[in-house]
Structure 1
C-alpha cells in the first residue's frame, strides 16, 4: 500500500512524460532499449539482408600513400581508445592557423584524393589572394575504412565499417570489436581537436565539407552533430548527396511510375528518414529537434545543376526524394526545408510535389540558416564544384554568398522579420547565416531553451518516479 499512490501517479504521468512535448532527457530515460540494442537496427540502404550482396560500393585500396604535403595519422574518438584515420597537413602552423577544412571523401573512400583536391583549391585561393583565406589553413581528410575491402590496412584501434557505404549514413563502426562509435562521432572528435585552444590558440573557423557520398554524411552530420564548440565557428557544406535524411514522412515524388511509398516500406528508415535512427554517443533526439539544429546552423547546400545522370543511389528510398537525378533531389530538399520552416523564400520553379507539410515555424520563426548555392555548369565532380566562383565562396566567404542558378521567374525576396521561435536554440554556428533567402546574411540567434509544459499529474509524479528508479 505504501507504493500505491506513487504508482498511480506514475501511471498518470507516463503518457505526458513520454509524449512528443516531453523534455528529451525524460523521454530517453523512459526508453527501455539500450544504445547497443538501438544500434542493431541497420539503415535501409546498407542492410545486406534487404538489398542483397550487390550493394558493394567502394574500392579496395593498395598501400596507404599520403599525398605530397600531407601525412597519414589517427585521432582519438571517444574515451574507449578508438581512433579515426585521417590525412593531415604535414607541417601545420598550429599556433597561427585560423581555419581548418575537414574534407569528407566520396563513396570510393579515397581520402588521399579528397585531401589533394581540397588542398589544391586552398592553394589556388591563397595564390589569387582570395579575401579572407588563411595561408596557414589546415586540411584534414578522414579515412572511413571498410572491413570488407581494407583488411590489413587499418590499425587495431582504428574505426572501420562492415558495409562499404555504412559510414555515409552515420552508422556505427564494427571495428574495433564492441565499438558503438559512428562516423558522426568521428567528425565530432575532429572538431573537438580544433576547438582545443591550448593546441590551436588562433583557430576561429572549422568547415566540414562533403561531396557525393561525403555529401550524404555531411548533410546528416549537419542535422545530428553535437552542439559546436563556443570558441570556433563551424560551417557545414554538403555537395550533391544522393539522398538526405527527411525529418517527416513527406516526400516530393508522388508519381508511382517512379517510386511509391506503398512498394518501398523502408523509405523512411534511417538514412532516408529518422525511423530507427540510433542516435550518437551524445544521445538521441526527436526529428523536430534535429530539424531545429539543422536550420539554426551555418549550413550550405551546394548543387551542380548538370548533375542529372542516373548515378549514385537508385533505390526506391532515394528515388522518392526527387527522381533519378541528384540535382532534382537536392533542389526538392531545399523546397522541403523552406516549406517546413514557413520561410519567405521564393520556391517558384523548384521541383517537388509536397501536398501539405506540417507547420514547424514554431521552431524556425520563419527563418533558416541553411543556404543554397547552385553552380550552373557543374556536373557531379567535387573539384569542378568547389573550384567554381560559387564553390569558392561557399568554402571561404564569411558573409553573403552568391546564389548561382535559380529558376526562371524566381525573385529574391526581402528577409522576413524574425519571429521568436517557441523553442530557441543556442548555436554558435548560425552567426552570419540565418536568412530567409540564400545570399542574405543576418545575426546569430541564441537563447535559453524552454522546456515543454507537462501536466499536473506528471509534475506530482516526478518525485515518486525518482524513488522508483533508485
Structure 2
C-alpha cells in the first residue's frame, strides 16, 4: 500500500476532527495583520489601515475546523447587507492556519500557524513566533481600539460557528480585560453558534457517564483542569464570575440534532454534554442559569436550520444576534 493511501486510511480511522486538521485550506486570505510574533492571515470587508469614520461596529467572525475564513467573511457580509448594516460594519475574519496549510500552500513560515486544531483551545502558535490564538484575537481587539482609525466605533462583536464557536466560547471564558475599550465606551459582545462542546466550570454534567473511563472529561477544553497558559493567574472561580457577566448569545439551529453528524465531537467528554449540538447548547445554558440566577445571557433558536454557518448568520435570528 502506498504512503498516500496509508495516510488517507489513518485519517478516516482518526475521524472528522483529525481529517479537517490535516486537509490544507483551499483559499488563504490575502490580507496580513502584523503582530510582534508574525503575521496573521486575515480577511477584511474594508481596508482598516486607513481611518473608517463611518464604522460604528466591528464584527470578528471566526471560521470552523476547515479554516475557510473567506467563506465566513462572505457570509458575514451577506448578513450585514440583509440587515442594512454593511456601511457601518467592519468585518474581520482571522484565519488560524495550521502546519499542513503552511506546507501544502508553500507559505512563508513566519505566517502565524498552529498545530492541527489547537487554535480552538487557545494554544500557542508554532514556528518562529509564538502567540496564543486567543492572544491573536486580543491584538485585533486592541487595534480596533485605535480612535484615530475608528473614531465612531462603539461595539465589537466576536462570533463563530461550529469549531469557531468552540473557540469563541472559550475565548469569552478566558479573555483578557481591555480597560481602554471600556474607557472609550466600546462594548464587546459574543455570538456562539452551534459548537460541538462547551467548557464547564465544575465536574457536573447533564449526561451520566463512567468517569473512570473518561478521565479527561473535566480537562480543558471541556473543563477547568489544566487551563491553557493564556489563562494563567486567574482561578476557575474568577473566570466563571467574569464569564457570567459577559454579553453572550447562544445561537442554536433547531435542526442541528444529528447525533452522528460527521463533524460532531464524539469524544466521551463531549458526549457527557448531550447527544447532539442543540441539546448540548440547551444543557449548558440551563447549567449556567442554575449557577447564576441573575444571568442576562440569552439562547436563541434558529428555525429550520441545521449545522450550516451561512444559514445561521444570514437568518433573521442570526442578523439580530450579530447586529443587535
TM-score bracket, normalised by the shorter chain, equals 0.7 to 0.9
Structure 1 equivalent of residue 123 of structure 2 = 171
Residue 247 of structure 2 contacts residue 297 of structure 2 at CA under 8 Å; is this kept in 1? yes
Counterpart of 1:370 (choices 288, 297, 300) is 297
Is the CA contact 2:121–2:221 (under 8 Å) kept in the aligned structure 1? yes
Instruction: Work out whether residues 46 and 90 of structure 2, in 8 Å CA contact, stay in contact via their aligned partners in 1.
Output: no
Corresponding position of 1:290? 239
**TM-score, normalising length from structure 1?**
0.61
Question: Could you tell me which residue of structure 2 aligns to residue 327 of structure 1?
Answer: 278
Aligned residues: 299
Indicate the SS of the match to 1:262.
helix
Deviations 1:330-357 (A, max 9, x none): 110001111111x1xxxxxxxxxxxxxx
**Corresponding position: 1:102 with 2:55:** no
Whether the aligned pair in 1 keeps the contact of 2:41 and 2:95 (CA below 8 Å) is: yes
Is 1:303 the counterpart of 2:290 in the alignment? no
Contact persistence 1:278–1:284 (CA under 8 A): no
Question: Is structure 2 residue 126 aligned with structure 1 residue 196?
Answer: no
Q: Does 1:150 align with 2:102?
A: yes
Work out which of the two has the higher radius of gyration on C-alpha atoms and give 1 or 2.
1
Cα offset, 1:134, TM superposition:
5.6
CA distance in 2, matches of 1:103, 1:196: 20
Residues 144-166 of structure 1 show CA distances to partners (whole Å, capped at 9, x for unaligned) of 11103432454333221112x11
Q: What is the alpha-carbon distance in structure 1 between the residues aligned to residue 27 and residue 151 of structure 2?
A: 35
The aligned residue for residue 307 of structure 2 is 380
- Partner of 1:456 in structure 2? none
Structure with the higher helix share, 1 or 2: 2
**Structure 1 match to 2:170:** 220
**In 1, Cα distance between equivalents of 2:157 and 2:57:** 8
Q: Is the 2:189–2:247 Cα contact (8 Å) retained in structure 1? A: yes
Q: CA RMSD in A?
A: 1.9
* Change beyond 3 A, Cα 1:91–1:82: closer
Is 1:121 aligned to 2:79, yes or no?
Answer: yes
In structure 2, how many angstroms separate the alpha carbons of the residues matched to 1:154 and 1:118?
26
Contact 1:83 1:157 in 2 (8 A): yes
SS in 1 for 2:202: coil
Residues 153 and 98 (structure 1), Cα distance of their counterparts in 2 relative to 1, 3 Å cut: farther
Moved over 3 A (4+): 90-93, 152-156
Matches of 2:34 and 2:245, distance apart in 1: 28
Superposed CA deviations along residues 246-267 of structure 1, whole A, max 9, x for unmatched, are: 111111101x4xxx32211111
Deviation at 1:370, TM superposition (A): 1.6
Distance 1:223 1:123, change over 3 A: same
Instruction: Indicate if the aligned counterparts of 1:160 and 1:176 stay in contact, CA closer than 8 A.
Output: no
Instruction: Report the counterpart of residue 402 of structure 1 in structure 2.
Output: none
Structure 1 gaps of 5+ residues are 1-51, 67-71, 127-132, 344-366, 398-470
Q: Deviations over 1:193-232 (max 9, x none)?
A: 1111122111111110100000000110111111142121
